[in-house]
Structure 1
Amino acid sequence: MSRALPLAIFLALVGLFGFGIWWNQRHDPREVPSPLIGKPAPAFDLPVLGDPARRVSKAAMLGKPYLLNVFASWCFACRDEHPVLMAEAQRLGIALVGYNYKDDPADAQRWLAQFGNPYGLILADRDGRTAIDFGVYGAPETFLIDAQGVIRYKRIGALTPQVLAEQIEPRVRALSGGAP
């Protein structure tokens, strides 16, 4: 019996290793399931970047779907994503709202001046407290929020033309009453 125990442990580890390989081949590690999908977006009341006296709340955003794109001037992956947003923002058919995360407002404004501004509105979460409620891991991340304020999709990582075409656009069409 004592000789069989090491073999059993070895076989169990091999089985776990094999399952891990199988799992990773079938699931994109950037697609972390969010417990907020299908639930109301967290309440927020954040200042507008460049106009801190003006604040925008979740209630003010109700009525139309929008993409909430988390970005920061310090985020290297955001630089990769930004040209995609600049090229595709108008074509999406819904509002693209920037969510400036843990960033100095002056740095964010310089960054947007340098690379362009695809956003119709930019919310500033300098200390990142509201981002915690959204379950933000870092930047970039993107949320699709419907007209009732319910989170319908979350993307961790940079948006690409492929992600927009295969993941976002079908969901936007579904929200607009088009074919899913």
Structure 2
Amino acid sequence: MKGRKLILLIPLVVFLIGCAFLFKGLFSDPRKLESVLLDQPVPEFALTSLQNPDEQYSRAIFTGQPMLLNVWATWCPTCRAEHEFLNELKARENIFIVGMNYKDERPKALQWLKNLGNPYAIDLYDPDGMLGLDLGVYGAPETYLIDSSGTIRYRHVGDLNDTVWQKTIKPIFEQME
């Protein structure tokens, strides 16, 4: 009889555990996804420039000064609004921004930059998403704050806008300078 009561409690326990996970998910911010790469160097890679396919880049571009790595794509509607802000940010704050075109077609991406402006000091082309995979990219847009030694210090999922810049990323960026 006692074993039968215990068996009847198992579904209740499973239900309560499931509710706890769902409750936690309701109050978590999906833009604050943890990354195993925080406080780790940018992964090794070899990618070409979006604008010049003969030009190769490696992890070495992420040393020497603090910078942003912005993951974007022409198929990403949120990236369009973010792109306007990145152009403003570059003009206003003179931030070094590396752009990584993610899982996209080169001609479309080049036309995008021609039409909307190019805030990127360096533009990487990641057509297969391999560096994106190594970074743990969920989708575009995502922005990484990288210090002068090439270490990832912060990851932002979603569009980078003035509010996010002023309240979250700029204070971290200024501490690194």
TM normalised by structure 1 equals 0.86
The answer (yes or no) to whether the contact 2:62–2:146 under 8 Å persists in 1 is no
Q: Which residue of 2 aligns with 1:94?
A: 95
Q: Which residue of 2 aligns with 1:138?
A: 139
Displacement, 1:4? 6.8
1:136-169 per-position Cα deviation (integer Å, ceiling 9, x unaligned): 1211111111110100011111112221112210
Secondary structure at 1:123 match in 2:
strand
How many residues were matched structurally?
A: 175
1:125 aligns with 2:130: no
Displacement, 1:92? 4.1
- Mark the CA change 1:4 to 1:34 in structure 2 (over 3 Å): closer, same or farther: same
- Mark the CA change 1:15 to 1:43 in structure 2 (over 3 Å): closer, same or farther: closer
1:17-166 mapped onto 2 (5 Å cutoff): 17-18=19-20, 20-22=22-24, 24-25=26-27, 27-166=28-167
The one-letter code matched in structure 2 to 1:20 is L
Percent identity, please. Answer: 39
Name the CA distance, whole Å, in 2 between partners of 1:8 and 1:105. 55
1:118-141 per-position Cα deviation (integer Å, ceiling 9, x unaligned): 212211112222221111121111
Name the CA distance, whole Å, in 2 between partners of 1:18 and 1:56. 45
Which structure 2 segments of 5+ residues have no match? none
The answer (yes or no) to whether the contact 1:92–1:169 under 8 Å persists in 2 is no
The one-letter code matched in structure 2 to 1:9 is P
Moved segments of 4+, more than 6 Å: none
Name the CA distance, whole Å, in 1 between partners of 2:52 and 2:91. 24
- Mark the CA change 1:126 to 1:16 in structure 2 (over 3 Å): closer, same or farther: closer
Displacement, 1:7? 5.7
The one-letter code matched in structure 2 to 1:169 is K
Name the CA distance, whole Å, in 2 between partners of 1:113 and 1:64. 27
Secondary structure at 2:171 match in 1:
helix
1:9 aligns with 2:11: yes
Deviates more, 1:156-165 or 1:1-10: 1-10
Displacement, 1:15? 5.6
